Amino acid sequence: MSAAAPMHTYSRVAIALHWAIALMILSLVGFGFLMTQEWMPNRFAIYQWHKSFGILVLVLSLFRLIWRLGHKPPPLPSDMKTWEVAAAKVTHIGFYVLMIAMPLLGWAMVSASKLPIENKLFYLIPLPDLPGVTPSDALTDRFKLLHEIGAKLILLLFVLHVGGALKHHFVAKDGTLARMIPALRR
């Protein structure tokens, strides 16, 4: 692409962060629901990996948000209806909120827990308790419930988001998916 040509895709950093975070969130939701089942083997280890990747999502999402504030995304197709633009914006903002709120709720849940578990991220970095969260069963249950509701909201946004992306790609054929997967660009 020449220097003067318009930028049609997200930046490499935005694309790398999008797919890394998407993969981690989908695994966190999948393994999150599985690890809470009694029959699941190696539950303790999965919990530790869950906490580790969950905090990694928090760090990467904060970085991604800061990056996004300084880098404008490529323009949306001009023939999109007002409600479609609004729906895309609400979904994106909802994702950013949940990408940050979900790890914080999980962290708050383990900080409020009375179980004497030492949390070490990737078996290396000790995870301190969130400041201001005191051990309490009632608080643990509240954060647990909010964490579970958040996961269901992520799934709802995911269905809307992927539905939208596939509609753009296969019905409108307007190159929107190629903004996140440059290899699709002709």
Where does this chain bind ligand HEM (CB under 6 A)?
18, 21-22, 25-26, 28-29, 32-33, 36, 47, 50-51, 54-55, 57, 68, 73, 76, 88, 92, 95-96, 102-103, 106-107, 109-110, 144, 147-148, 151, 154, 158, 161-162, 165, 176-177, 179-180
Q: Are 114 and 137 in contact (CB under 8 A)?
A: yes
Question: What crossing angle do the helices spanning 137-166 and 82-112 adopt, rounded to 10°?
Answer: 150
How far apart are the C-alpha atoms of 84 and 182, rounded to whole Å? 22
DSSP label at residue 129: P
Shortest CB 179 distance to ligand HEM, Å: 4
Helix (H) or strand (E) holding 180: none
Smaller CB separation from ligand HEM, 18 or 142: 18
Which of 160, 131, 132, 151 shows the shortest CA–CA distance to 54? Answer: 151
